[in-house]
Amino acid sequence: MAAAFPPIKEVAEATLPGSQTTASPINTDEEGAVLGAVDSNGNTYPDGGRAAWLKVLGSFCAIFPAFSLMNTTGTWQAWLSEHQLADDSQIRIAWIFGFYGFLSLFAGLQWGPMFDAYGPRILAVPGSIGILTMYCLMGICKQFWQFFLVIGLLGGLSTSLLFVPAISTIQHWFLTKRGITTGIAISAGSLAGIILPVVLERAFVRLGFGWSTRVAALILLPFTIASCVLMESRFHEPLRSRIVIPNLQVFRRLNIILLTVALFSMELAFFIPLTYMASYAISQGLSTKFAFNLMTILNVGSLIGRWLPGYLGDRLGYFNVSVVAQIVCIIAMLGLWLPSGSSHALLLVAAFVFGVGSGSNISLTPVCLGQLCKVEEYGAFYTSISGIASFGALLGVPIAGGILTATNDDYAWIIVFGGLIYVIVLVAFLAVRVMAVGWKLKVKF
C-alpha cells in the first residue's frame, strides 16, 4: 500500500529520481566506517553507524504493531464473519476494515507537521497505547458498532500514529541509504502478517477469541516499548498548521492525474485479497487452519515484494518495475485466484504471487511521484495524492462486501472486480511512462 506520510520538509530533501537534491560523497575513516553524508542544503546525516541503525530498529519495531492488523485483515474478517458477526452482512463487516484502512492512511496527513515540530514520541506513545488497547478491547466486543469503534476508529488512528514517525525517523538519519533502510523497516509489517495468523489460528481454538486478542497484545508489547525508546528525530521546525488538507492545485497536469488514478485504484483493489482470500478458502470447504496459512503465505510474498522492487527499480527504473508489478497482481487475481476453486496448491501460489506484486505499492509509489515533480514541491504533491488515494482504501472492501451480498457470496465477482481494477492501475502507470519516454522498452524510467 502507498501509505507513508513523511514530514513535508524532510520529503523535499530526499534524494529522489528526477530531483536536483544530491548528496556529497560519503565520508569514511581509515577503516571504511561511515562518518556521514551532506545534502545540497547543508544538512548532515550519519547515514550509518550504531546510533543510526538503532533508529532503523526502532522504526522496524513501530511498523510491526502498526501493520499487525492491516496485514492480517483476512484472518480477523474470516473469524468475525463466522462467529461474533455471523448475522451481519458482508458489506456491514466490510465497513469496519474499510474505515480502518482509510483512517490509517488519511489521518497520517495530520501527523507529519506534529513530527516536524515535536519528534516521534509524541505520536508513538499514544499510538502504541492505542494499538494495545485495541487488541484488548476486541476480545470483549460482541456487536457491529463495538468492532467498528475499536478496529475502525481506534485501530485506524493508532496505526497512523505509529506509522508516520516510523517512516519519518529514518529520513532524519539516512540520506544515501534511505531506500534500503526504509525497506528494512517496512518489512516488519509483512513479518507481523507471517507470525500472527499462525499464532491466532492455534490461540482461537485453545484459548478462545478474548484471550487470543490479549495474546496478540502481549506479542506486540515489547515492540511498542522498543519503538518509543529507540526512535528519535534530529531536525525540528515550528508547527505552522494543525490541519493539513489536499492541495487541489497539484492536479493541473495530466501525468499527476493519471498517477492519482493509479494510486486510488491500487488502494481500492489491494485490500480485497487481503480481506477476503481467507474467507474464500473457508467458503470452498477448506479448513480454517489453511485459510489462516494463506495470510501467512501472502505476507511471505509481500516480505519479498517490499524490498525487491526497490532494488530492481534503482537499476531498471521505478515506473518500469511498477508496470511489471501490476501485471503480477493481475496474474495473481485473474490467472490464479479466479480458477483456483478448492485447490490448495493454486490458492497458495495465488497468495504468494499477489504478495510479491502488491508489496511494491509502498516501496515504489513515493519515488515514482518523485520523477514527476520538483523536489521542493514533493511534499504538497505527495500529501495531496495520498490523501485522495486513501478514499480507495475506504471504499474497496465495502464495495467487495456489497458485491458478495448481492451475489449470494459468489467470490468470483469480487475477484474479477479486483483484477479489473488492477488493469486500470496498469494502464495508468503505462500512460504516465509513455507520456515521459514513449514506447521504448529499454529506457530506464
In angstroms, the CA 345 to CA 322 distance is 27
CATH, domain range 46-244: 1.20.1250.20
Residue 205 β-bridge partners = none
Query: Is 172's pLDDT higher than 50?
Result: yes
In angstroms, the CA 384 to CA 361 distance is 17
3-state secondary structure of 44: strand
Grid cell listed for 270: 489491494
pLDDT band at 4 (very low <50, low <70, confident <90, very high): very low
Grid cell listed for 241: 498548521
| Predicted pLDDT at 8 | 36
| Predicted pLDDT at 243 | 64
pLDDT band at 24 (very low <50, low <70, confident <90, very high): very low
Residue 38 β-bridge partners = 44
- Render pLDDT for 319-367 as a digit per residue (tens, 0 to 9): 998 999 999 999 999 999 999 999 999 999 999 999 999 987 776 777 7
3-state secondary structure of 35: strand
pLDDT band at 253 (very low <50, low <70, confident <90, very high): confident
Residue 94 identity (one-letter amino acid): A
Do 46-244 and 249-445 share a fold? yes
| Predicted pLDDT at 259 | 93
- In the chain, where the domains are located: 46-244, 249-445
Residue carrying the nine cell digits 511489471: 324
Query: Is 168's pLDDT higher than 50?
Result: yes
- Render pLDDT for 184-223 as a digit per residue (tens, 0 to 9): 888 888 899 889 988 888 898 889 999 999 999 999 999 9
Q: Which of 33-47, 277-291, 369-383 has the highest mean pLDDT?
A: 277-291
Give burial (CB, 10 Å; 0-12/13-18/19+) of 345.
Answer: exposed
| Predicted pLDDT at 400 | 92
| Predicted pLDDT at 6 | 43
Least confident of 86-95, 164-173, 277-286: 164-173
Q: Kindly list the distances between the CA atom of residue 10 and the CA atoms of 41, 112, 127, 345, 428, in Å, as whole numbers in the listed order.
A: 11, 10, 22, 45, 28
Q: Which CATH architecture has domain 249-445?
A: Up-down Bundle (1.20)
Provide the percentage of residues in the chain whose pLDDT is more than 90: 41
3-state secondary structure of 401: helix
Alpha helices in 231-359 (DSSP H): 254-283, 288-316, 318-330, 344-358
